[in-house]
Structure 1
Amino acid sequence: MSQRGTARPDLDYEQLAPTVDYVNRVVQVGGKYTLDEPFEVGWGNVVLDVTPRGLATRTFRRPDTSFQVHYGLLDGDVRIESDRGTRALSLRHDSVASFYTAFCDAAHDLGVDPPDSPLICEIPSAPATFEEDRAPRTWDPDAARLMCTAWNLATAGLEAWQAPYLGHRPRVGVMWGGFDLSATRWRPQRTTPTPGRPAFQQNAELHAYVSVGFSFGTPDAPHPGMYAYIWPQPDGLDSRDWGVPGATWNPDAGLVQLPWPALLQTPDPVHSVVTFGDAVYAAAVDLAGWPADWVCPRVDGWYMSRTPTERVQQLERERREGG
């Protein structure tokens, strides 16, 4: 697997929290358009791509226009790009409400309707709608840069982890509601959703999956880091080795957690993300009957372009036999 140099940003939740909270709200504006797209298993259609400079929606293709929304966190702006032109607006706004008004005005100039819903999702402390969120906001470019650097480090590892999986695996990206970066592996096994949860959460639990991701933390758990879980949750997770020093099973949260400082202390954090994910999938194989042969050898594209099929098959046999 190719190695890439990646910066190692120190993350302090208290420093990042105001910017994380603001960005979480404004990316929902563009993110809402993803709800018009065909539903993918586990809401794979809604994720925002991590770009070199921020977050971006997928391309939306409508009968009369195509467009994309890019949140340029390093540039402090948002660009709506369409086949009719481009409009840019600043992320420096007095409030989420004023940002929403400016966004809708810019979208209208390109023939793009506002999102179908102005509701703010999955943020318990938030007002009901974008128009009602008039709390004063300031823009912190240093915090935005730390966020982008952390996302790119974690994404590099999660994309490498996902690459050899043969089953359904949506794009690695940021869920704009809960605001976590996630990589999810699915298999076609129907499961029973947790009763009493909102419809969107129950629809995410219709099939078995393994999820590995990254979060900046929350007010109740202000600790940035990697996390993982297996749905449905099997027994025996408390006795597993999670591959990376500092990674532990948290039964109260129902998560395997790898604190960000522990990840940065490893010689190669990107490789450690892969190792962490592999350990979680191994637990799913051993404890929940997941298929071990759904993961191919992890090699780069140049290797595969030059290597005879027989050698690739030999590598796969050795991997399955533990050689």
Structure 2
Amino acid sequence: MSDWPELRIERDHPTLAILHLASQMMGKIRVAHAPWSNHGWHVALQPRANGFETLPTAAADGRTFTLALDLCTHAIELSVSDDGRDSVPLAQPTIADLHAAFVAMLDRHGLPSSFNAMPSEIDGAAPFADDRAERAYDPDSADRLRRAFARLLPVFDHFRAGFAGKSSPVHLWWGAFDLAVSRFSGKTAPPHPGGMPGLPDRVAREAYSHEVASAGFWAAGAAEAEPFFYSYIYPEPDGYRSAKVAHGRFDETFGEFLLPYAEVRAAADPAAMLGEFLQSAYEAAATSASWDRAALERAPVAP
């Protein structure tokens, strides 16, 4: 039996949707109150043993604070540089209640609490404060997601270590609720067409300002779909779609190579299968786009 947990949409989706929206509230604090880093890396959530957290954010009075999506305590955890601590349980009747409790927690500590009220990259989403649909949070579903991340994160860390060029950290993008790592060739890219719901085109253009090959794990979140691993390149070079990639397939709708999480979980060696997919999909991208692989790649070992 696989020690990678099963993620089943009909059972886990309601909780994954709550986690997705909670992560957006946290990340949007960084959008509103932190200096803009290239490609928006400052707003992504960073992995930690029991979930994900923001980078430290400065308050006007000189304090800093972090917000964590804790999948063990099942709460949004606040830590302040003056040793202040607080939390908001994720199990709330509605997203509107979660939003109100989140803002109230920040206000209690005199911390910045204003942020864009509209969820990003979710079709048909209501503003956080107006989302009064009943929600049911299942700690077991959240724990399965935590254990899945615990299994797949080391594979992504090893993959990231094999690149000497500009690379993002392995981090969680709360817009689509996907873990990702991005590699850059150093070449500029044509303007991105944009068109993503709740994401300004100017942000998409800055994120994709340079030629990039990205890989990640889409946890589905608010989308009622099965989780999968993915790999893509922007802009897409000729011959990319027909390249041979270990495992998975090219999806014409997404314009990416996809590998279902369930398929990886069922493998005799899930970590090896995922690693082969990530590496071979990157090689397909880098070779098709004529990257200088000799200069950009390295053995993932200590000097």
- Report the residue type matching 2:236 in the other structure: Q
Structure 2 counterpart of 1:311: none
CA contact (8 A) 1:47 1:172 kept: no
Q: State which structure, 1 or 2, has the greater radius of gyration over its C-alpha atoms.
A: 1
Structure 1 counterpart of 2:143: 145
Structure 2 counterpart of 1:203: 206
Seen in structure 2, the aligned counterparts of structure 1 residues 115 and 171 have a Cα distance that, compared at 3 Å, is farther
CA contact (8 A) 1:194 1:202 kept: yes
Q: How far does residue 220 in structure 1 lie from its aligned partner after superposition?
A: 7.2
Aligned-pair Cα RMSD in Å: 2.0
SS at the partner of 2:3? coil
Matched residues in 2 for 1:89 and 1:196: separation?
34
Seen in structure 2, the aligned counterparts of structure 1 residues 267 and 194 have a Cα distance that, compared at 3 Å, is same
CA contact (8 A) 1:172 1:182 kept: yes
CA contact (8 A) 2:18 2:222 kept: no
Q: Deviations over 1:110-134 (max 9, x none)?
A: 221203322211111310x211111
Matched, 1:271 2:272: yes
Q: Deviations over 1:200-245 (max 9, x none)?
A: 222222111001011133787722110110111112234322123x
Q: Structure 1 residue aligned with 2:300, among 285, 298, 301?
A: 298
Structure 1 counterpart of 2:198: none
Structure 2 counterpart of 1:51: 48
Seen in structure 2, the aligned counterparts of structure 1 residues 218 and 112 have a Cα distance that, compared at 3 Å, is closer
1:180-199 counterparts in 2 under 5 A?
180-195=178-193, 197=195, 198-199=201-202
CA contact (8 A) 1:50 1:152 kept: no
Mark the runs of 5 or more structure 1 residues left unpaired by the alignment: 1-5, 305-323
Matched, 1:28 2:21: no
- Report the residue type matching 1:103 in the other structure: F
Seen in structure 2, the aligned counterparts of structure 1 residues 179 and 219 have a Cα distance that, compared at 3 Å, is closer
1:233-252 counterparts in 2 under 5 A?
233-244=236-247, 247-252=248-253
Matched residues in 2 for 1:287 and 1:47: separation?
29
- Report the residue type matching 2:36 in the other structure: F
Seen in structure 2, the aligned counterparts of structure 1 residues 171 and 115 have a Cα distance that, compared at 3 Å, is farther
Structure 1 counterpart of 2:134: 136
Structure 1 counterpart of 2:255: 254
Matched residues in 2 for 1:241 and 1:267: separation?
22
- Report the residue type matching 2:263 in the other structure: A
Seen in structure 2, the aligned counterparts of structure 1 residues 249 and 196 have a Cα distance that, compared at 3 Å, is closer
Q: Deviations over 1:91-147 (max 9, x none)?
A: 1111111111111121122221203322211111310x2111111112101110111
CA contact (8 A) 2:228 2:261 kept: yes
SS at the partner of 1:282? helix
Matched residues in 1 for 2:286 and 2:193: separation?
26
Higher relative contact order structure (alpha carbons within 8 Å, sequence separation ≥ 6): 2
1:144-163 counterparts in 2 under 5 A?
144-163=142-161
Matched residues in 2 for 1:223 and 1:24: separation?
15
Mark the runs of 5 or more structure 2 residues left unpaired by the alignment: 196-200
Matched residues in 1 for 2:223 and 2:142: separation?
22
CA contact (8 A) 2:5 2:148 kept: yes
Q: How far does residue 273 in structure 1 lie from its aligned partner after superposition?
A: 2.4
Matched residues in 2 for 1:196 and 1:111: separation?
36
Q: How far does residue 266 in structure 1 lie from its aligned partner after superposition?
A: 2.9
Identity %: 25
Matched residues in 2 for 1:168 and 1:7: separation?
33
Q: How far does residue 298 in structure 1 lie from its aligned partner after superposition?
A: 2.1
Return structure 1 stretches of 4+ with deviation > 4 angstroms: 218-221
- Report the residue type matching 1:123 in the other structure: I
Q: Structure 1 residue aligned with 2:76, among 69, 75, 78?
A: 78
SS at the partner of 1:237? coil
SS at the partner of 2:187? strand
